[in-house]
């Protein structure tokens, strides 16, 4: 597994750069245009969470190969306030109330695998994967 | 062939026919197609992608501007797709919740008496209908070995699940009172202490508790902030208010309840009800107590059960089958 790229999200420009990197990578891997749009949207949502709720953080993009298929791993890491109750932010309908975890269940559904680790005061790490069909 | 490929082929056929014949038939097929994709839970962005694939198939020389414009459309539809999937999940959750509530409502139903005791010289009828699935109204009618009748009718403020939870507490609290039938005033005072300890500060319960002694034909009753009932005096053909002063249950620990007595002559009856009855409304107009009395009078030559059933049916109809609050109506008439 090699890190393909890593984008600092400090401004809204960072979000666009992360999207751009994600789109190019997924296109290069041969994802369909719908899946490209899904991967990009997932990156966009994760980057926006970093931009809106933490001072700065990093979106990482990696190509992964499990021996049978290729995929793309997105990581979103920040040193922000962390999330008090993960169960709350992963519940559908929560995002519409405009809380911390804007759209996390949505991101989870756009992708194939999703993992979130967060401790209050220590920041959050989200790892999510999309496999090439 | 996968579902996706099958759908794409159907879509291609429909689009091709439409572009070459441009008739209503194809549009009708497109409408049927949309039902099918919704059934298959295909999200909106996928339809855009199918459309682009198909149109590129049919017109390989599509301009690059047109092709690229679909990227914008796709991007916009992704959001709709997310909302669509969330909607699906919430819909399933709602179904789960509803079936849970159905089970709870069935359980709650077992709290109410299965049948109304039959008396030699009095006729009792009762109807209780929740505004939604669960009820915040509670009633009980029991007869002891001496044909002595006790009637309880309680109304928990609010409705739905919170009121229903509180209603079950009232039921258990009543069950835990001493076996021998207490006098209405004593009973309410005792029940009030239990309720006061177990209820949130912003909740309370109104209640009417009565006993009828067929030997003396005395109807004794006490009330805890409850909607007054009616006493119908047959000799004068008049409805009088059946009022009992007393603080609602759960407000103050040491409330005392005064006991009232009403002697019933042949043909006299008493009516007790929850405020869901007087809160029946048609548009902005609430049912007036006088109108309720007139409705009862209209059916008064029928049995007690028929009276309450008919009154309910008329009121249900009057307010377009929309109950705003749990509805309980109870009538006891001295027959001989």
Q: What is the pLDDT of residue B230?
A: 96
Q: What is the pLDDT of residue B321?
A: 86
What band does A84 get if pLDDT is binned at 50, 70 and 90?
Answer: confident
Chain A residues with a Cβ under 8 Å from any Cβ in chain B:
32-34, 37-38, 40-41, 92-93, 103, 105-106, 109-110
- Greater confidence (A27 vs B282) lies with A27
Contact A93 B45 (CB under 8 A): no
Domains of chain B: 3-104 (1.10.1240.30), 114-334 (3.60.40.10)
Residues 6 or more apart in contact with residue B275 via CB below 8 angstroms = B155, B206, B227, B325
Q: What is the pLDDT of residue B179?
A: 62
User: 3-class SS at B267?
Assistant: coil
Contact B90 A93 (CB under 8 A): yes
pLDDT per residue as tens digits for the range A29-78: 999 999 999 999 999 999 998 998 887 899 999 999 999 999 999 999 99
Q: What is the pLDDT of residue B286?
A: 85
Measuring CA to CA, which residue among B85, B213, B245 is closest to residue B147? B213
Average pLDDT over residues A13-31: 94
pTM: 0.72
Contact B85 A106 (CB under 8 A): yes
CA pair distance B333, B336, nearest whole angstrom? 9
Q: What is the pLDDT of residue A97?
A: 43
> Phi then psi for A62, rounded to 5 degrees?
-135, 150
Q: Which of A34, A40, A41 sits opposite B46 (nearest CB)?
A: A34
Closest residue on chain A to B49 (Cα): A34
The shortest C-alpha distance from A34 to chain B (Å) reads 6
Domains of chain A: 2-131 (3.30.565.10)
For A16-25, A84-93, B3-12, B20-29, which range has the lowest pLDDT when averaged over its residues? A84-93
| pLDDT above 70 for A98 | no
Q: What is the pLDDT of residue A100?
A: 42
Long-range contact pairs involving B102-106 (C-beta distance under 8 Å, separation at least 24): B102/B133, B104/B133, B104/B134, B104/B161, B104/B164, B105/B130, B105/B133, B105/B134, B105/B164
ipTM of predicted complex:
0.77
What band does A2 get if pLDDT is binned at 50, 70 and 90?
Answer: low
Give chain B positions within 8 Å (CB) of A105.
Answer: 86, 89
Mutate which: A16, A20, A23, A34, vs B, most B CBs within 10 A: A34
Name the region of B257 (left: φ>0; alpha: ψ -120 to 50; beta: rest): beta
Q: Which of B46, B74, B82 sits opposite A106 (nearest CB)?
A: B82
- Per the CB < 8 A criterion, the answer to whether B47 and B37 are in contact is yes
Give chain A positions within 8 Å (CB) of B79.
Answer: 41
Contact A110 B82 (CB under 8 A): yes
What is the percent of chain A with per-residue pLDDT over 90, rounded to a whole number? Answer: 59
What does the pLDDT profile of chain B (336 residues) look like in tens digits? 688 889 999 999 999 999 998 788 899 999 999 999 998 889 999 999 999 999 999 999 999 999 999 989 999 999 888 888 888 888 999 999 999 999 999 998 888 988 888 888 899 999 999 988 888 899 999 887 778 899 999 999 877 888 888 888 888 888 887 766 578 999 999 999 988 888 887 788 999 999 999 899 999 999 999 999 999 999 999 999 999 999 999 999 999 999 999 999 999 999 999 988 988 888 888 888 999 999 999 999 999 999 999 999 999 998 888 888 899 999 999 998
Q: What is the pLDDT of residue A93?
A: 64
Q: What is the pLDDT of residue B99?
A: 95
Give chain A positions within 8 Å (CB) of B71.
Answer: 33, 37
Average pLDDT over residues A24-32: 94
Give chain B positions within 8 Å (CB) of A103.
Answer: 82
Chain B residues with a Cβ under 8 Å from any Cβ in chain A:
45-46, 48-49, 52, 70-71, 74-75, 78-79, 82, 85-86, 89-90, 93
Mean of all residue pLDDT scores within chain A: 87
- Take residue B42 and report the two structure tokens written for it: 């295909």
Contact A110 B52 (CB under 8 A): no
- Per the CB < 8 A criterion, the answer to whether A60 and A77 are in contact is yes
- Per the CB < 8 A criterion, the answer to whether A107 and A128 are in contact is yes
Q: Which of B78, B85, B89 sits opposite A37 (nearest CB)?
A: B78
Closest residue on chain B to A33 (Cα): B49
- Per the CB < 8 A criterion, the answer to whether B164 and B235 are in contact is no
Contact A41 B49 (CB under 8 A): no
What band does A99 get if pLDDT is binned at 50, 70 and 90?
Answer: very low
Measuring CA to CA, which residue among B87, B94, B226, B234 is closest to residue B153? B226
Contact B49 A33 (CB under 8 A): yes
The shortest C-alpha distance from B78 to chain A (Å) reads 7
Give chain A positions within 8 Å (CB) of B86.
Answer: 92-93, 105-106, 109
């Amino acid at each position: 597994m090699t890190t393909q790229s890593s984008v600092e999200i400090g401004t809204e420009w960072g979000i666009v750069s992360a999207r751009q990197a994600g789109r190019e990578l997924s296109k290069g891997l041969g994802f369909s245009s719908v899946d490209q749009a899904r991967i990009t949207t997932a990156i966009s949502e994760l980057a926006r969470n970093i931009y809106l709720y933490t001072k700065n953080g990093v979106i990482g993009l990696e190509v992964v190969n499990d021996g049978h298929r290729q995929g793309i791993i997105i990581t979103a890491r920040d040193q922000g306030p962390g999330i008090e109750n993960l169960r709350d932010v992963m519940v559908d309908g929560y995002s519409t109330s405009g809380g911390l975890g804007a759209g996390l269940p949505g991101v989870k559904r756009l992708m194939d695998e999703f993992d979130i680790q967060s401790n209050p005061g220590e920041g959050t790490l989200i790892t999510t994967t999309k496999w090439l069909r | 062939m996968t579902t996706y490929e099958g759908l794409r082929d159907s879509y291609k056929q429909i689009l091709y026919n439409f572009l070459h014949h441009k008739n209503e038939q194809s549009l009708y097929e497109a409408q049927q197609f949309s039902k099918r994709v919704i059934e298959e839970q295909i999200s909106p962005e996928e339809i855009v992608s199918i459309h682009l694939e198909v149109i590129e198939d049919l017109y390989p020389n599509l301009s690059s501007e047109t092709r690229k414009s679909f990227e914008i459309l796709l991007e916009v539809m992704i959001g709709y797709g997310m909302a669509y999937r969330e909607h699906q999940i919430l819909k399933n959750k709602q179904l789960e919740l509803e079936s849970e509530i159905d089970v709870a409502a069935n359980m709650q139903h077992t709290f109410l008496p299965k049948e109304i005791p039959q008396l030699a010289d009095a006729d009792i009828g009762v109807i209780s209908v929740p505004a939604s699935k669960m009820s915040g109204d509670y009633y009980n009618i029991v007869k002891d070995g001496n044909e002595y009748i006790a009637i309880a009718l309680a109304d928990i403020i609010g409705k739905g699940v919170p009121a229903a939870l509180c209603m079950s507490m009232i039921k258990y609290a009543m069950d835990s009172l001493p076996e021998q039938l207490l006098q209405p005033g004593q009973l309410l005072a005792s029940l009030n202490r239990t309720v006061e300890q177990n209820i949130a500060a912003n909740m309370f319960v109104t209640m009417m508790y009565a006993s009828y002694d067929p030997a003396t034909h005395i109807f004794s009753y006490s009330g805890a902030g409850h909607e007054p009932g009616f006493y119908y005096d047959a000799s004068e053909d008049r409805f009088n208010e059946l009022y009992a002063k007393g603080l609602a249950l759960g407000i103050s620990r040491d409330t005392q309840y005064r006991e009232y007595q009403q002697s019933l002559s042949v043909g006299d009856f008493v009516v007790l009800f929850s405020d869901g009855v007087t809160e029946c409304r048609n548009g902005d107009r609430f049912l007036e107590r006088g109108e309720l009395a007139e409705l009862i009078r209209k059916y008064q030559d029928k049995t007690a059960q028929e009276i309450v059933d008919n009154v309910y049916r008329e009121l249900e109809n009057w307010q377009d089958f929309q109950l705003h609050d749990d509805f309980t109506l109870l009538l006891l008439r001295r027959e001989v």
